[in-house]
Structure 1
């Protein structure tokens, strides 16, 4: 028998889908800023052996180094990104759904089993709840990464006004490096997340849109009290 079960709340779905275009704009505008001062290279004795974004990469995307435009978009949408993240975190705390998302003591061990299962090395399905161990770690990590991006972003945005934050991040240059590494982390998370969605199938994807999932429940037999009692011969 098929029944409809609520899987994701409205607020969770809204913050999830709003975050995708916000992060895309933040990454795009951040790349405009970065291309205006492409400083991350591997050099030795005055010779550059590796440039993180080589010239062919910049030309392939056909996005010029527009520093002012990149900063305008980046510093505007960062507030929407921060607000969306704040709403999400507040909701998980108030609703108590953080218990389903935060990793527990056995999560890292179980996450390894999830990886082995996804790679078809291990046949047995690891422990499953609403979110498996790997999802718990990934979703918690992305929230912490968002916080890290906000803090380091403020350190880069106003290094004098937020001098204490900049100092805690290790200085302006260190803040920029951490901010850059976190951006690479978002891209990797996106790619893995999309692959996982494809592997999970349309049913799982649709539940994040509608909030509901159709599940198969076993039929129950209704036995009357008369049937439970032995009949006299």
Structure 2
């Protein structure tokens, strides 16, 4: 069964807007687990505009499910991950000021850099995932660099879904097959929601994990967090 990892960055954004500790990021993470989430994802950025480094350290001993830290592998990020030792680290090619992840790695152009970073995490016993597009060559070079998994950047699928969902999902199905044939695990994330998630899963049922934050937290404003997590889990059955 495909696992649901809840990205709690938006909860931290809301907290930071007023200062203090409301909402409590640590409690929300634990509530997500209690409501059925299979993991928690955080993306700490250098300016700490949402998840803070202190949150990452505080979450690690509290979580009972899988902990996934994603981010650009700067020296500071690498040190943080090696200290915390989450279950999984997801490498994304974001610049420090980028609003959100909006592209996969050029794993061929950055092959040497990624290989060195992945070696450090693999040697520490941390499962590694690399954020990529559906380009087969990018997936192949991620495998050559030493990744355990790739995470498909699904914004193009989400954008095209309403117009022609068969055409929208087709390149992702092919990319998933490439990853599977290379022995890579397969994750997916970005703009997946209650409308488009089930169709994506139906077409790529060997997905290991989806990471969802923005849409899930927005839905929780209307449905409540517990029901929302169950609705997303239902999309993966």
Higher relative CO (Cα under 8 Å, sequence separation at least 6) belongs to 1
Q: Which has the higher strand share?
A: 2
Say yes or no: TM over 0.5: no
TM-score if structure 1 supplies the norm length? 0.25
Which structure: larger Rg?
A: 1
